Amino acid sequence: MSLPSVEQYSRVIERKDPTTLSTLFDHEFKYTDTGFGKEYSFKVGTSAVVFKAVKEGKTYAVRCFLRGELETFKRYELLSAFLAEKDPSWRVNFEFLDNEVLIDGHYYPVVKMDWDEGEPLHRFIDRYMSDYQVLSLLQQKLVELSAELEKAGVGHGDLKYNNILIHPDAAGFTIKLIDYDSMFIPAFRGRKNLETGSPGFQPLKRLSSHFFESIDRFSFWVMLTTLEAVKADQNIWENIEQGGFNNEHSLFTASDFFNPSASKTIQKLKGFKNEDLDFYLDKLVSFSQYSDLNSIEKPKLYKDVSGIPVSHQKLALPKAPIEKIKEPQELTQTFEFEIKSIPSGKDVLVNDVKRGITPLRISLFKKEYDHVTITNGVKKINVPIHDNKKVYEFDFTEKELITPAQITEQDEILEFKADRYNIREGELATINWKVRGNSKIHISNMGEVAEKTGTKKVALRNTTDYVLTIGSKNRSLTINVQPRPEPIIPQVPPPFKEPGSNKQPYTIPVPASSSKKVFQWKMFVIVFLVVLAISYLLFNYNSGNKNNSQVVTSNKKAVSVPVASMTKPVLFSKTKVTNFLENLYASYNKRDIQSIMSFYSPKINEYYSSGQINKDSLQVLINDLFITPASYKCIPDFSSLVIQPGDETCQVIITINEKLKKKRRSRTENYNTTIKYTIDPSFKIMGERTGN
């Protein structure tokens, strides 16, 4: 079903015309002034865009669909009635507004939900990652939530950090859930799930047919394991090899579950030799391979609040009653302060996490008082927060002598490219790079370089990979080298000479007076031979046609064998392969997962480092790599196309330029990748790997 774009929704929201908004025209929609215009969208996802609206002092999240089917909207109507009747503790009130937005002559529905001021789970973990007690309490709350959902016959379907909000209250904190697109309720039993959740939070073999109240069990095990890992070493949350996981993405990726023994994250966690962590990690790795999601165990704690393993409680005989851990009072109340600076615009950090810029009104828990700082990028000042002082002001106008050694420039690769990616053997290519930062710069096959901006010409005989590294950042490019064709030199046979004879061949002298007669005689002979040759060819041609059209007789039956039937058609022609690749990359650029999967064989013998893989697992992996990021685009270089047909399959090698943006506001990454496909006669991909 075709739905409007973010820009189309934004134009309607900005106008607030009663003819295009059925009920929301009297709401005040919030926007951000970007300097280039007003941006009304508060959050953009793969399925919907969220706008922030206010009416009569109450704030709402207006969710407009970017992707979905008619079935999605019908289910929301049933969900609305079901949740209003049950009123579970985790529910956020919402209305399904059918026929709300009019665009290009068609009405589209929206979901109007109470604006929830809760803190996303990953931000909550970031705030309390050093508090063992709070993290343990959070694990307990998640196990309780899992049981509550299943008891009510409900499965959320897409549990991840962004869809779980934490609310401080008198009892510690409560949990709210948002985004109900994938939710299961009893009325949906027997139907298929319209979404299969976010990679990293789902088992490898989850299918659309897995739609029941227990679909969230694996997601809960992911979060229980992550929290136990943070309790064991908070560096896992801050600065693991891939750059840290204090964001909305899972600590784990689908690749970790494909091959746990090769996963850096899983092997790092196993290396802690932590009994509690091993309990959760072993369960998680095992459950990730399950085909029957109902067989995954219900989430449970390894140790209860007393610190005794649940499985050993009957054997344990404590000498005195163990008091239940009290939930921290720091979670129950926040206090508001104002922080100013001269000049304004300085960063305010809490626990080294940026909370805004000055002037800033900020709400703090008491335990955060000693962890507030303000910085101008060079100088950092601790803010001495006290209950009896509400406003703090700092002066950064004092001129200080800053030596170059004091300035720490963040490592970043600004540019790494070649002027030519496909050359012939011995030809020149120019490599350009531009970086910033204070770390050493190294380029493979070139060595260490001193210049932050530079160029180098290279003459290559073989395809060569170059990797630019500065600090923890790296980027690669490949220059493909095609061998030069060897010149074909015609071999002229030497004149015949009798073996063993060194004498010059004898020639009969021709008298000058008879040269004219000799010439005429030669011309006559040449003309006669040409006529004879033409006659011979015409005779053979007619004879051949007659024979080819004759009936071939046998003892049983006469069969006609035309010449055309003996010619085998070219299966993997350049035109067919080019059309196939154009359609394949068009599907990737549209980011249509179903269309992409239609190009792959049911059995994939090789997919990069994953080896042999089934089609369902491949779909999860492709979704994780190309659909989940904010944007992805690939452009094939057909001048690099190499076709190597075989008896039953064809090897196709091509270089593509890929542009990837992981998040909406992150930098676009640019890659040149050479890919080798194995294609079967029906033009389905049986194998895909990096080409050499």
Structure tokens at 241: 């090899």
pLDDT at 304: 57
Q: 0.75 cut: is pTM over it?
A: no
Other Cβ atoms less than 10 A from the Cβ of 240: the count is 18
- The DSSP output letter for 519 is H
| Cβ(422)–Cβ(431) below 8 Å | no
Give the pLDDT confidence of 350-398 residue by residue, as tens digits: 877 677 778 777 777 777 788 888 888 777 888 888 877 888 888 877 5
Structure tokens at 505: 């061949």
Q: Which residues contact 606 (CB under 8 A, 6 or more apart)?
A: 612, 678, 686, 687, 688, 689
pLDDT at 20: 92
Q: Is the CATH code 2.70.98.10 the one for domain 119-310?
A: no
Tell me the CA distances in angstroms from 299 to 172, 185, 204, one per residue in order: 21, 20, 18
Residues of the chain with pLDDT under 50: 240-244, 246, 305-306, 308, 310-332, 399-407, 487-490, 492, 496, 498, 501, 503, 505-515, 545-568
Map tokens 């980011």 to a residue: 591
Average pLDDT, the chain: 79
Tell me the CA distances in angstroms from 353 to 150, 316, 337, one per residue in order: 36, 42, 17
Map tokens 């209860």 to a residue: 304
Give the residue range(s) of CATH 2.60.40.1930 domains in the chain. 412-482
pLDDT at 567: 46
pLDDT at 387: 77
Class of domain 412-482 as given by CATH:
mainly beta
Check residue 520 and give left, alpha or beta (phi > 0: left; psi -120 to 50: alpha).
alpha
pLDDT at 361: 76
Distance CA 641, CA 664 (A): 33
Distance CA 592, CA 58 (A): 38
DSSP annotation string for 91-143: ---EEEEEEEEEETTEEEEEEEEEPP-PEEHHHHHHHTTT-HHHHHHHHHHHH
Give the residue range(s) of CATH 3.30.200.20 domains in the chain. 6-114
- Per CATH, the number for 6-114 is 3.30.200.20
Give the residue range(s) of CATH 3.10.450.50 domains in the chain. 574-690
Nearest residue to 101 via CA among 20, 46, 165, 180:
20
pLDDT at 241: 42
Where does 12-55 show beta strands of DSSP type E?
Answer: 28-29, 32-33, 38-39, 41-44, 48-55
Cα 9 to chain center, whole Å? Answer: 26
CATH of 574-690, one of 3.40.50.10790, 3.50.50.60, 3.10.450.50, 3.20.20.70: 3.10.450.50
Map tokens 């992981």 to a residue: 662
Distance CA 411, CA 524 (A): 87
β-pair partners for 429: 458
